[in-house]
Amino acid sequence: MPVRRRIVGVSLKMYMGLERTQHWLHAVADMAASGLPADVDLFVIPSFLSLSDARTIFAGSRVAVGAQDVFWEDAGAYTGEISAPMLAEAGCRFVEIGHAERRRIFGETEDMISRKIDAAVRSGLVPVLCIGEAAKAAPEDVVLDCMAQFATATAGIEKTATVVFAWEPIWAIGAAEPASADYIAAVARGLREALASWPNMRLIYGGSAGPGLLDQIGDAVDGLFLGRFAHDTDALRRVLAEASNSTATSA
């Protein structure tokens, strides 16, 4: 079966100030220089204020840079917003869209998320589309719920577009432990089947993900979307090694 490349992403959210972020970015750059696994892609999503630092620090490396949000218009009188063309010009390759915190705290709707996806794709950015169920349920019900969200979010783009589907059970975000390996495998298997017509789709799991999880779930997903557990770069190094040691193959 054809092999899909593994991918690991890290979002720093709003945990670190500028100086601490710089130290962390340099540590990741040093780690990448000493041997980022050849079969694993890594992207890092700092705060907007650290995008310039990330672009400079990761220049010439295999670490890609992303942003934590984007506005749906390319330009205009939208005070405080940042457009997809701006992010592309700033060196971003990825952009996170639809995270549960933005939906809950800032009231982002499915229509807003869809418009952001459209904006990202037309500017050549790869959307990291965050989708998840509010409560633990039977895997088949979770798949139906997540795919309904996915269909609305991607209604305006072609199926050939490159998209990262970040499945993040809302109930697992910020929890002490991720969802169980059996639960992840069952839901991921259903999502794989539902996403079969999207050739450039990559499926990653987020929600208290950290070292040891990929060893448990094998090739159920293409990789992980990390949060606070990647603040320790040694933990990130272990996740990257686990991603390299397991082979993701087409379902």
Residue 182 to residue 138: CA distance in whole angstroms: 12
Give residue for tokens 């139906």.
144
* Cβ atoms within 10 Å of 148's Cβ, excluding its own: 12
Structure tokens at 84: 């997809």
Catalytic residue among 96, 108, 133, 168: 168
Q: For every residue of 135-181, which 3-state class applies, written as one string? A: CCCCHHHHHHHHHHHHHHHCCCCCCCCCEEEEECCHHHCCCCCCCCH
- Residue 46: exposed, middle, or buried by beta-carbon count in 10 A (0-12, 13-18, 19+)? buried
Question: With contact defined as beta carbons under 8 Å apart, do 118 and 156 qualify?
Answer: yes
Catalytic residue among 96, 99, 133, 242: 99
Structure tokens at 66: 């992303």
Catalytic status, residue 168: yes
What is the set of active-site residues?
99, 168
